[in-house]
Structure 1
Amino acid sequence: MDIFALLGQREFLISVLAAVSAAAVVFTFGSSFIVKSEMRDRIKRVALEREKMRAEEMARLRGVAAGDSRNIRRNAETKTYMKTVVERFDLKKAFQDDATVDKLAMAGYRGQGHLTTFLFMRLMTPIIIFVVAALYLLVLAPGGRPLYLNLTYAVGAALVGAYLPLLLLKNTTTKRQASIKKAWPDCLDLMLLCVESGMSVEHAFKRVAKEIGQQSVELAEELTLTTAELAFLEDRTRAYDNLGRRTGLDGVKSVMTALIQADRYGTSIGQALRVMAEEGRDQRMSEAEKKASALPPKLTVPLILFFLPVLFIVIMAPAVIKIMSGPSVSAFGG
């Protein structure tokens, strides 16, 4: 009875509720501190992992540089005269514009050395072609033409040769973009699997770069460079933007834009990759259907030129032979 009387007292109930409230307050603040400490530990682990990846990339790059030190030094020595010519004639003002560096990057040529070589070839290619054409037209095969006409032909060949470096650069860019475009949908699927399995974006790029190399070496190279930029640069949006700029493909640029928006606004990267992967598969299917629909018109000309004549010969040859052999047989018989 004393216990029930104690439970029924107002002072006892107030003290119990006050104790429960104090315990709830302590638990609430304590849990928030625990969550903050766990979050702090997780951020620290991510930072340590990022520093580890950065150290691995630096060690790999230093190893490559140490292994190819002779070749790098040799290339630097052989390209000294190119740099001298470019600086003396100020070829950057003559041939370089805002899109030159991007065009070289799309073709896989990065760095100041490739830019110097490209500018040097823009100057020397027409001169070399002019000398070769003039030597051929004036000495080896004059052909009885006047001197001014041979020189005019040589100048025309030099003008055509001035566009030769641009054509070679465009051809290399087209082949490289075709290889990247072909392997890009599979790359998105692999990246989606990596992100949804719990990997970070840096690990996903690194893993996909290793796996996609068997299908497209160019795409693996770009993803490896993006992995290094994600480890080096403080703002990862710059790494995404650089990947889209180096490839020059609309599909890659749209995916990088989605990743930049997801990183900026805190949305799900997996959801963005899933949507872009579906669009990539649909686009590849539409391109395959487009090629299949264009196949019958392309087969029309070979069919007319090669199949129909043979078919007519097979069908009409027995009748022609019979007609040609009929009168001779009757004459001999008569």
Structure 2
Amino acid sequence: MSIFNIATPTLIVWMATLAALVSVAAIAAPFVFPAKGKSARFKQVTSKRRELSRQQLDGLTTKGSLLRQRQKSTKAEIMKKVLVALKLDQALSSKELKLHLSQAGYRYQNALVFFQFARFAAAIAGPFLAIFLIESQGPTATLPYALKLVGMGLGALGGFYLPKLLVVNQAQKRQKEINLGFADALDLIVICVEGGLSVENAFERVTEEIGEASPTLAQEFGLTSAELAYLGDRHKAYQNFADRTGLPAIKSLATTLIQSEKYGTPVGQALKVLSQERRQDRMAIAERKGASLPAKLTVPMIVFFLPPLFAVVIGPAAIQISHM
């Protein structure tokens, strides 16, 4: 039997030869032309890092026009001159306050100047506000001056510490939001690293995946990814990540990554151990909350449960006795 006057065995040999040649060509192509593929991948990674860094820097540096930036800069210069004139310029170099402001999300250039001026202005306005509140309560002619001075002092003290309390409260809110989404983000990092991605690419992937669920944590991962791309010291980028958040869990992540790069241990294995420890911590916290639940329910049960129970049990007997 033949097809187009070609014997069937010969046709089978030709088809097998052609299939073998195609297979060899497909396998050898990446080795014969490797430069172009690598160059394209390197360009893609570089452009992605630049785009991410630009987005993060744009989000941090401005939310308005250049005119607003200049107005803020002018206001900051005036405030700084006032603080320097009052010999309060040393407070502008406090690393601790800068760290607190960074953890609260206030990371623009003149955040510390605005914060210190707000404390100074609130401390001056506090006594006047206290006097106004005292006078608004009615005639205070017989009120001792010592009590008024105490009220003014408390107003000044409250005005001085109020901005710091607001910053601490904002930092705690951010830490709570970050802590809620960190466990899932850590699992995603483990999956990405075990899938063959580098730490920078894993952070970029996590930034994209958790952007809607936890915008604050996504911003922190995006900043860390940009710092890893542009800072010469990777350990500094990890340390900045821990300092910006102030959470022990992220500090453990930064320490794990630093030690993995320093001693050459597998990053995926170290992150897997850290993820397992994080799950155990979450389980311990849940068990602790469950164990404290009976004690918390004691007072509501006494107030809302026992009186109706006594009324239902003793009420009919008391009614019968009253009719006798």
TM-score (norm 2): 0.80
Shift of 1:282: 0.6
Shift of 1:188: 0.5
Task: Describe the shift of the 1:47–1:91 C-alpha distance in structure 2 as closer, same or farther (beyond 3 A).
Answer: farther
Q: Structure 1 vs Structure 2: percent identity of aligned residues? A: 40
Identify the residue that residue 72 of structure 2 maps to in structure 1: 75
Identify the residue that residue 52 of structure 1 maps to in structure 2: 47
Aligned residue pairs: how many?
Answer: 290
The 1-side partners of 2:83 and 2:263 are apart by 45
**Residues 182-214 of structure 1: per-residue CA shift (max 9 Å, x gap):** 211111001111111122211111111122233
Structure 1 or 2, whichever has the larger Rg, is 1
Task: Describe the shift of the 1:297–1:41 C-alpha distance in structure 2 as closer, same or farther (beyond 3 A).
Answer: farther
Shift of 1:95: 6.9
Identify the residue that residue 205 of structure 2 maps to in structure 1: 207
The 2-side partners of 1:245 and 1:231 are apart by 19
2:92 and 2:112 in contact (8 A); partners too: no
Shift of 1:179: 1.3
Identify the residue that residue 194 of structure 1 maps to in structure 2: 192
Match of residue 137, structure 1, among 122, 134, 138: 134
Letter in 1 for 2:95: D
Any unmatched runs of 5+ in structure 1?
Answer: 1-34, 328-334
Identify the residue that residue 121 of structure 2 maps to in structure 1: 124
Shift of 1:118: 1.0
The 2-side partners of 1:134 and 1:66 are apart by 39
Identify the residue that residue 107 of structure 1 maps to in structure 2: 104
Shift of 1:265: 2.3
Identify the residue that residue 91 of structure 1 maps to in structure 2: 88
The 2-side partners of 1:281 and 1:41 are apart by 44
Shift of 1:128: 0.9
Identify the residue that residue 324 of structure 1 maps to in structure 2: 322
Task: Describe the shift of the 1:105–1:43 C-alpha distance in structure 2 as closer, same or farther (beyond 3 A).
Answer: farther
Task: Describe the shift of the 1:66–1:48 C-alpha distance in structure 2 as closer, same or farther (beyond 3 A).
Answer: same
Shift of 1:216: 2.1
2:92 and 2:113 in contact (8 A); partners too: no
Any unmatched runs of 5+ in structure 2?
Answer: 1-30
Give matches, 1:27-46, under 5 Å. Answer: none
The 2-side partners of 1:160 and 1:141 are apart by 23
Letter in 2 for 1:255: L
Greater shift in the superposed pair: 308-317 or 74-83: 74-83
Give matches, 1:272-311, under 5 Å. Answer: 272-311=270-309
Give matches, 1:134-283, under 5 Å. Answer: 134-137=131-134, 141-143=138-140, 144-283=142-281
Shift of 1:151: 2.5
1:189 and 1:277 in contact (8 A); partners too: yes
Shift of 1:126: 1.3
1:95 and 1:122 in contact (8 A); partners too: no
2:129 and 2:155 in contact (8 A); partners too: no
| Partner-residue secondary structure (3-state), 2:110 | helix
Shift of 1:58: 4.7
The 2-side partners of 1:308 and 1:161 are apart by 45
Shift of 1:242: 0.4
1:134 and 1:151 in contact (8 A); partners too: no
Letter in 1 for 2:106: Y
**Residues 271-324 of structure 1: per-residue CA shift (max 9 Å, x gap):** 111010001111011001101101100000111111100111111111112222
Task: Describe the shift of the 1:67–1:113 C-alpha distance in structure 2 as closer, same or farther (beyond 3 A).
Answer: closer
What RMSD, in angstroms, separates the aligned Cα atoms of the two structures?
2.7
Identify the residue that residue 6 of structure 1 maps to in structure 2: none
Letter in 2 for 1:256: A
The 1-side partners of 2:99 and 2:56 are apart by 23
Task: Describe the shift of the 1:304–1:115 C-alpha distance in structure 2 as closer, same or farther (beyond 3 A).
Answer: same
The 1-side partners of 2:74 and 2:104 are apart by 24
Shift of 1:100: 1.4
The 2-side partners of 1:318 and 1:117 are apart by 69
TM-score (norm 1): 0.78
1:202 and 1:231 in contact (8 A); partners too: yes
